[in-house]
Amino acid sequence: MPVITLTTDMGNSGFYVASVKAAIIKDLPDASIIDITHSIRPFHVSSAAFVVRNVYRQFADNTIHIVSVDALNSPHSRVLAIKTENHYFIGPDNGLFSLVFSNPPAEVYEVTLPPNPSSLAFPAKDIMAKAAIHVAKGGSLNEIGKEYKNYIQLTAWQPIYNDSSIRTSVVYIDEYGNCIFNLEKSLFERVGRARKFFIDVKRNSIEKLSNTYNDVGGGELIALFNGSGLLEIAINRGNLSELLGLKEGDSVMVSFEE
């Protein structure tokens, strides 16, 4: 049974997602279609990359991942088909995949399936779904595209640090308003060297790391390193993003005692 995941910015209230699923099921009635999320904020490529990067390895080998976010914002609506780490990825050439993988993918193709009049208007259904069906049936990528190495590259946000501080940026905000930053635990420990620290979050200070949300009371600020090894700052039983106005790209300063 082929497994196909969907990550999109289409939302859940319209017919778009259902149309993509219908196109797949029509040719692959036994396919297992897994919704990762359709709630990526419209056009937020970095959010989509963060979600896919953190979940795809949890699926079995040969899973096919359709990622349709800001799909029309690629040159000539170019669609890529990628194979790496025994997974397949299909989505727009808008820089998204350059943020998903730590290392360059093994195989990258520009999908060149015969176009139809609606392909440019709805590439997720008319191009990406067709490519996924082809792969699910055992087809190779070179049968539906041409090798393509010049895909768009984006620069991932990286923390800025010195011996006494780290400036880290919000890379993702979840449904609860919890903010996840691009600071890995390994860098925090390397710079911090077990020194006392404080995190300045919109003029609110956090001076310790917690292990779980239950370490603080309701309404209190909390900082911890999550299951992905990234710094997460939140308000226990509250919405940090809304209450303090944090948004993707905003930064906080982690300062260490001299």
Domain limits, the chain: 3-147, 160-256
Share of the chain above pLDDT 90, in %: 87
Report the predicted TM-score, pTM, of the whole model to 2 decimal places. 0.88
pLDDT at 73: 74
* Position 253 confidence tier, pLDDT thresholds 50, 70, 90: very high
pLDDT at 109: 98
* Position 72 confidence tier, pLDDT thresholds 50, 70, 90: confident
pLDDT at 158: 87
What average pLDDT does this structure show over 111-130?
82
* Position 121 confidence tier, pLDDT thresholds 50, 70, 90: confident
Check pLDDT > 60 for residue 255. Answer: yes
CATH fold of the domain at 3-147: Rossmann fold (3.40.50)
Comparing C-alpha atoms, which of 255, 96, 239 is closest to residue 179? 239
CA dihedral 125, 126, 128, 132 (to 10 degrees): 90
Residue-wise pLDDT for 190-227, tens only, equals 999 999 999 999 999 999 999 999 999 999 999 999 99
End-to-end CA distance of the chain: 58
Indicate if the alpha-carbon torsion angle 238, 158, 152, 138 is positive or negative: negative
C-alpha to C-alpha distance for 147 and 186, rounded to whole angstroms: 36
Indicate if the alpha-carbon torsion angle 204, 207, 228, 235 is positive or negative: negative
pLDDT at 76: 67
What residues have CB less than 8 Å from 112, skipping those under 6 apart? 144, 145, 146
What CATH code would you report for 160-256?
A: 2.40.30.90
